[in-house]
Amino acid sequence: MVRRSWDPVRALITGAVVVCAVAACAGPTENAGRGDTRDGSTIVLADSYEDEALNPLLGYAQEGASKIFDGLVSYDAQRRMLPALAERLPTPAPDLRSWTVTLREGVRFHDGSTLGAEDVVATYRALIDPARGSTVRSDSRDLAGVTQLDPRTVRFELKHPSATLPSRLTMGILPSEALAGGGPLLDSPVNSRPVGTGPYKLAEWRRGTSMTLVANADYWGGPPTISKIVVVFAVDDNIRAQRMRSGEFDGTVLPPALADTFVGGDYRVLHHRTADYRTITMPSGNPVTADPAIRLALNYAVDRPGMIDALLAGHGVPAYSPIPPVLGEYVEPAAGFRFDRAEAARILDAAGWLPGPDGIRVRDGQRAQFTLMYSATDSVRKDLAQAFTSDARAAGIAVALAGLGWEAIEPRMGADAVVLGGGNPFDPEIVSYPLLHSSYSGDGFNNPGSYRNPEVDAALDAARAAPDTATRVAELRRMQREYTAAPGFVFLAFLDHSYVTRDDWTGYQEVVEPHTHGTTWGPWWNVERWVPKK
């Protein structure tokens, strides 16, 4: 699936242009702002992104923090796993080939029906049924089935031993009635009329304009104090910032440099650490990007710190693999690349890629050139693509940029490079396994460039089946050493996510975010526990 991202900008557009643009676009959302509510019972947020469907099986709030749904497990601000709809954390069989989950008693869906084991079974069977067309099915391809043991107990059966199953149980649970009858999930009424167990219910969705959520008074975790959340959809960063300054919103997501312009005012400016990487794929279907020397040289040729300083206002950290620094003990310190153009040149020279008359390297008549695609509406990917192109050109490699829509990008990912994003801060295998393991070769956004490395595969498999944490840590560190010795991507940075919010509530807790963010995560990831300041 295409996962969301935000758009940093290098400079603000002029005030006159902003004012003009606001005047031109304010009409459709003029009734969706803060209005006269000042008692703290309503919070109005602005987001640059609008989901196409509110269905967990189509990727909605896959990592948790949904206001509408709950998963079997969740995470706290310290990234500790907690039972959510589960009464306690899942219990493994000794061979790690199955896990048992017991549900909480007395949980009700928004329609008043009671949560039972049949709902969990229906949700996960729909996930793994290819006929239903779940967009996140491949993330659970090792799940063989799920069985109801009694009205409150289910058992997940796996194709292979795995210690990671619980970390993938954050997906929201749907009522079995909503999944009855089969049929493609793309046609499900749940997509626009969701029924979950979460702290808020969908009251209204004006597509392209706003979404209104109201508190679930029967929420199993206790009714939220904030009774209404209004999310206004405003794509343009500068317009969103201007409307925030005018008092229309209580909070929004912004590019880091733009968010920093609010520092010193009547707002809180927050920069959250993340596991959200940006990487350049090196597809095996292209004769240039498939070459190990090109891949390795480009990893030395890119100036990651320079990109972070210039494009992200310093709000990010260099990335060398999908394992983010926030995962601490899982990070292999020796697996990295320094910025070293001389080393890049040495690698290319040794591999027979020699400079041509125009400075672009050539080997056996093949020019060192390829196309790099990026989402045309995503300015951070565009900026990173341009910076990458400049660094590659300095190494003698020509990169042609193509800003496209995802419908045009996806069919070409096997042969053309793309600026890709993703990341999860809770478990190192959730992203690294499907991104790097050869069994996922060419599986959409999972390993889109068909990277194959037997040593990486072996380490990932050993980590997944590891009986203890120490073994798992050791295998994942080995995976990173093997990967950086023969990389298949050029990872650039883990981006910070930046927000501006009014300081009118208590309950905020800083959290390390996944790739998904905005008003699902951000400062509002636990908004159901916020209380207005008196």
Using CA atoms, how far residue 386 sits from 2, 379, 398, 444, 515, in Å, is: 21, 10, 12, 24, 22
Q: Of all helices (H) and strands (E), which one includes residue 176? A: helix 176-179
* Domain C-terminal end among 164, 190, 216: 190
**130 belongs to a structural domain:** yes
Tell me, yes or no, whether 368 and 304 share the same domain: yes
What is the pLDDT at residue 403? 97
Strands 489-495 and 316-318: antiparallel
**331 belongs to a structural domain:** yes
**490 belongs to a structural domain:** yes
Tell me, yes or no, whether 461 and 357 share the same domain: yes
What is the pLDDT at residue 27? 39
Structural domain harbouring 174: 56-190
Tell me, yes or no, whether 424 and 350 share the same domain: yes
Task: Return the CATH number at 224.
Answer: 3.40.190.10
Q: What is the distance between the alpha carbons of residues 128 and 36, in angstroms, rounded to a whole number?
A: 47
**Torsion over CA of 430, 338, 414 and 412, rounded to 10 degrees?**
100
Q: What is the distance between the alpha carbons of residues 45 and 248, in angstroms, rounded to a whole number?
A: 9
Q: Of all helices (H) and strands (E), which one includes residue 534? A: none
**509 belongs to a structural domain:** no
Tell me, yes or no, whether 484 and 406 share the same domain: yes
Task: Return the CATH number at 179.
Answer: 3.90.76.10
The answer to whether residues 47 and 518 touch, using CB atoms and an 8 Å cutoff, is: yes
pLDDT by residue for the chain (534 residues), tens digit each? 233 333 332 232 223 333 333 333 333 344 455 544 568 899 999 998 899 999 999 999 888 899 999 999 999 999 999 999 999 999 999 999 999 999 999 999 999 999 999 999 999 999 999 999 999 998 888 999 999 999 999 999 999 998 889 999 999 999 999 999 889 999 999 999 999 999 999 999 999 999 999 999 999 999 999 999 999 999 888 999 999 999 999 999 998 889 999 998 889 999 999 999 999 999 999 999 999 999 999 999 999 999 999 999 999 999 999 999 999 999 999 999 999 999 999 999 999 999 999 999 999 999 999 999 999 988 889 999 999 999 999 999 999 999 999 999 999 999 999 999 999 999 999 999 999 999 999 999 999 999 999 999 999 999 998 989 999 999 999 999 999 999 999 999 999 999 999 999 999 999 999 998 888 899 999 999 999 997
List the alpha helices (DSSP H) in 68-175.
Answer: 117-128
What is the pLDDT at residue 377? 81
Of 511, 530, 510, nearest to 42 by C-alpha is 530
* Domain C-terminal end among 165, 190, 215: 190
* Domain C-terminal end among 129, 158, 190: 190
Q: What is the distance between the alpha carbons of residues 313 and 218, in angstroms, rounded to a whole number?
A: 44
Q: What is the distance between the alpha carbons of residues 156 and 158, in angstroms, rounded to a whole number?
A: 7
Using CA atoms, how far residue 373 sits from 22, 309, 381, 515, in Å, is: 31, 23, 9, 19
**199 belongs to a structural domain:** no
Task: Return the CATH number at 488.
Answer: 3.10.105.10
Provide the residue type at 442 as one letter.
G
Tell me, yes or no, whether 61 and 43 share the same domain: no
**507 belongs to a structural domain:** no
What is the pLDDT at residue 33? 53
Q: What is the distance between the alpha carbons of residues 520 and 522, in angstroms, rounded to a whole number?
A: 7
Tell me, yes or no, whether 484 and 396 share the same domain: yes
Tell me, yes or no, whether 466 and 372 share the same domain: yes
DSSP string, 273-310: -B--EEEEE--TTSTTTT-HHHHHHHHHH--HHHHHHH
Q: SS3 sequence, 352-418?
A: CCEECCCCCEEECCEECEEEEEEECCCHHHHHHHHHHHHHHHHCCCEEEEEEECHHHHHHHCCCCEE
Number of domains observed in the structure of the chain: 3
Tell me, yes or no, whether 314 and 366 share the same domain: yes
The answer to whether residues 83 and 89 touch, using CB atoms and an 8 Å cutoff, is: yes
Tell me, yes or no, whether 251 and 313 share the same domain: no
Strands 369-375 and 417-422: parallel
Tell me, yes or no, whether 451 and 342 share the same domain: yes
Tell me, yes or no, whether 433 and 376 share the same domain: yes
**103 belongs to a structural domain:** yes
What is the pLDDT at residue 34? 54
Q: What is the pTM of this model?
A: 0.89
The answer to whether residues 350 and 361 touch, using CB atoms and an 8 Å cutoff, is: no
Tell me, yes or no, whether 253 and 391 share the same domain: no
**511 belongs to a structural domain:** no
